[in-house]
């Protein structure tokens, strides 16, 4: 772990995708409303954290690498909160290019006694689709050449499109950069031969075009081969929740790594941690198995925290997984 962390500190990563603000409302509920059969939440405080692609960048910085992020945020209070976060974490963001009149995507979670009661989403997705992202390709392509790792963080909110993915991937390959994608199959973006893909269990089934069968085991071999035949990723890592991580190359199941989480309080943003840690470890020269163990440890730390979180080098080095 220490060797990987030491090599990561010299890397520069570029995250491209859907930036969000995660808003948490913390409180307690001890009574039912007289107006409707719903709990009344007495609010104690509000907290904010980076979400979506911004959480990928936050995890990159927490692990010790440099991070730049490209995506839309609005000229609103949520956008201002994100700008302050970027500045405090040392994440580079070109606000002169991507600060727009479109409202910032925001997810508000109501937390009662550390349990999520409900989530409220503000998603101007239709407006995002109208924005001409491809007009910003020239400075973005120039930025690609400066980084060691390029991560597409797709939350299906409209920033990424086929033109951006194709042009950036071509530029990154020509410059010898590692390209990774955390996919959202509902978007059906066109991509091929990326260095790393990190779908979760449900997303992997959707990418493979396989319907899940109730009470049946995950069809790992069929899923991995179907994804390979369509997208040809160099490395495929399927996150399986409590079942750990499934590693695949050329459509073959290589390895299954059990989860190391001691306790699971909140899985929000765990996928962001995994793609950040995996991408950095691979770019630092680790093989897939060692990179996956590193990412698995980082994710085990993150899911033990409530809310969107990151893992630090000190936490990783001190972490003792469950037996």
CATH of domain 2-18+54-73+126-318: 3.40.1190.20
* pLDDT, position 321: 64
Question: pLDDT per residue over 125-170, tens digit each?
Answer: 555 555 666 677 888 888 898 999 999 999 988 888 888 899 999 9
Identify the active-site residue in 182, 195, 266, 272.
272
* Domain definitions of the chain by residue range: 2-18+54-73+126-318
SS3 26: strand
What is the pTM assigned to this prediction? Answer: 0.92
Question: pLDDT per residue over 224-235, tens digit each?
Answer: 999 999 999 999
* pLDDT, position 51: 95
Phi and psi, residue 243, nearest 5°: -90, 0
DSSP string spanning 164-217?
A: HHHHHHHHHHHTT-EEEEE--TTT-----S-SEE--BHHHHHHHHT-PPPTTPP
Is residue 192 part of the annotated active site? The answer reads no
């Amino acid at each position: 772990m220490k060797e990987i962390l030491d090599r990561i500190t010299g890397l520069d990563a570029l995250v491209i995708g859907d930036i969000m603000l995660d808003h948490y409302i913390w409180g307690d509920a001890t009574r039912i409303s007289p107006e409707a059969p719903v709990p009344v939440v007495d609010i104690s405080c509000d907290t904010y954290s980076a979400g979506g692609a911004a959480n990928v960048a936050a995890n990159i910085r927490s692990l010790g690498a440099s991070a730049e992020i490209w995506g839309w945020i609005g000229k609103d209070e949520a956008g201002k909160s994100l700008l302050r976060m970027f500045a405090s974490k040392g994440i580079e963001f070109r606000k002169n290019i991507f600060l727009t009149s479109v409202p910032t995507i925001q997810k508000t979670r109501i937390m009662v006694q550390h349990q999520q009661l409900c989530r409220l989403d503000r998603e101007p997705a239709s407006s995002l689709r109208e924005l001409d992202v491809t007009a910003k390709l020239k400075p973005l392509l120039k930025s690609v050449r400066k980084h060691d790792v390029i991560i597409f963080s797709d939350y299906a909110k409209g920033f990424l499109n086929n033109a951006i993915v194709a042009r950036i991937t071509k530029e990154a390959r020509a410059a010898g950069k590692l390209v990774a994608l955390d996919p959202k199959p509902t978007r059906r973006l066109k991509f091929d031969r990326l260095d790393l893909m990190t779908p979760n269990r449900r997303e992997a089934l959707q990418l493979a075009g396989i319907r899940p069968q109730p009470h049946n085991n995950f069809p790992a071999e069929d899923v991995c081969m179907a994804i390979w035949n369509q997208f040809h990723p160099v490395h495929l890592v399927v996150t399986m929740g409590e079942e750990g991580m499934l590693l695949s190359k050329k459509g073959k199941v290589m390895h299954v790594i059990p989860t190391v989480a001691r306790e699971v309080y909140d899985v929000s943003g765990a996928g962001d941690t995994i793609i950040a840690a995996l991408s950095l470890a691979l770019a630092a020269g680790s093989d897939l198995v060692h990179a996956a163990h590193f990412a698995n440890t980082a994710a085990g730390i993150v899911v033990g925290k409530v809310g969107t979180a990151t893992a630090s080098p000190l936490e990783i080095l001190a972490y003792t997984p469950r037996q």
